[in-house]
Each structure stands twice: as C-alpha cells, then as structure tokens.
Amino acid sequence: MKDVVSQYVTMMSKELPLINRMQLNPEPEPCVVAKENKVSLVDLSKDCALRLSQRCGMSTIPGVSELPEGSVSSLKDQCPEVYYQKLVQLPSALSELQSFTSQKMLDKLESLSPQKVNKLLSIFWLEAANSKQPIPKPGCLLLTKKEIIVLSSEANSEDPITIHHHLNLLEIKKVQISLAGQHARLIDSTEDTILVVFTHSRELTQEFCKALLKVLSQGEFSEEAEDHPLLSGDLMVLSLDWTSNIPDIV
C-alpha cells in the first residue's frame, strides 16, 4: 500500500502484531517541543491469564466463548463516537454521567482537572486498570486529540466521579492485544504497562485500536488499513490459528 498510511504504520505478522511502528508528529505548541513518537500494537496471544489449555484438550477459552453476543452497542454517527460494553455494571455515579451531553461532560472534566479539554473524539464505557489500581473497575474512557482520560467512581471521595487515569498519547509506545482481543495494554518506553483497557469484546478492542490509530495518524487513515484482518477480522479465530500469516502494511 503506497498511500500516506505507510508513513505511519508498519504491520507485522509474528504473533498477530497489529501495529509495529508509528510516527507521530504533533503540532508544536507553546512550551512544548514537538517530537517523534513510535507506537506499536501487538497481539499478546500468550497472555497467561487467557492462555488456552491445550493439555486438557480444550477447544474454547473459558469465559470468552460464553459471552453473550450483542453485548456492545455504539453511536458512530455523531461526535464524539460512543461505545458501550453492556456487560460492565456501572455504579450509580457513572450511570448518571452516561446521560451527560458531551459539553456537560467537558464541563465536568474542567471541574476535576485544571487542564482544559476542547473536544472529545471517542467515549468508551468499559473497565480499566493501572499499576496503582490493578483490579479492573468500571470507567468512562475519553479519547481526545492528545490524551486519554479515564473517569471512575470513588465512594469515599468528595466528588463521586474522579480521574482514574490520565495520560498523554505521546507516552504510548506499544499496545498489546490479549488473546481473542479481550483487553489491550498500553505500554510506555520503559516497557511498563501504564493502562489496561478491558473491553471483554474483540469487536470493541478493534474499535478502540482504530480510534486510537486515527488520532495518532492525524486523520491519515485509509479504508484499506481499516479493512485489514487485524482491525476487521475475527481475533478469536486469528489467535487460535497458529498457522495464520497476516500480511504487513508497508
């Protein structure tokens, strides 16, 4: 593929990697030095937590194949796009937040953080965890042009809605996709996990990866790239087919 996407993305087929290398050239801002950022998305097909027990002759993944179909809903014909994982039980504070308009949600963000967010691109209702709070908890993941913000509910806080995690997209160097695409790990330059996004859905994982890729490529994301098997195919089948050879995007 010779279009502009090749400037940002190289896909590799080993262990279902999704994006091997991406160059980000953010626009210079006052007091901020624009720099190169390389990001890779790979499939974490040997994740111990979801490893297929071949010794027992198991042909399915416990807890994955039994998930009800249609657990994910979305609103794509608007800005921001909104994705819901209906398997996640939201606390009352997040349920109330779910009814907010995008502008009201921005106003809420302003009350929680001094950093102003001008526009939300995508909203994901799912679960997330980080090194400080490793147990997955329901949250609202907000994707903007420059950052990811995860809001969650804290019972013992003055405000029931708090910022669970906040990261600049420049921090992301790699995104690892678990077996069958049930969650994604955002990795920094030191190979540490800075955020784990639990989608409980291969389709939702693909939507999250595409949304992230579109932001990092600054909109230069072709239909050909979007139709790539790792972004549109069945990650369950690809994860279990050890003979599959996924072509690179070059």
pLDDT digits (tens, 9 = 90+) for 73-112: 999 989 999 999 999 999 999 999 999 999 999 999 999 9
* Helix H or strand E segment including 162: strand 161-168
In the chain, how many H helices and how many E strands?
6, 12
CA–CA gap between residue 40 and residue 167 (Å, rounded): 17
Q: Where are the domains of the chain?
A: 4-46+71-240
Low-confidence ranges of the chain (pLDDT < 70): 1-69, 219, 246-250
Cα separation values, 38 from 140, 158, 194, Å: 26, 39, 16
Give just the sign of the alpha carbon dihedral 110, 112, 117, 121.
negative
Cα separation values, 232 from 2, 70, 102, 154, Å: 20, 16, 28, 36
Topology (CATH) of 4-46+71-240: PH-domain like (2.30.29)
Q: What per-residue confidence (pLDDT) applies to 227? A: 81
CA–CA gap between residue 236 and residue 61 (Å, rounded): 9
Please tell me the pTM assigned to this model. Answer: 0.73
Radius of gyration over alpha carbons of the chain, in Å? 18
Q: What per-residue confidence (pLDDT) applies to 37? A: 47
Q: What per-residue confidence (pLDDT) applies to 221? A: 73
Pairing of strands 122-129, 23-24: unpaired
Q: What per-residue confidence (pLDDT) applies to 11? A: 31
Q: What per-residue confidence (pLDDT) applies to 230? A: 74
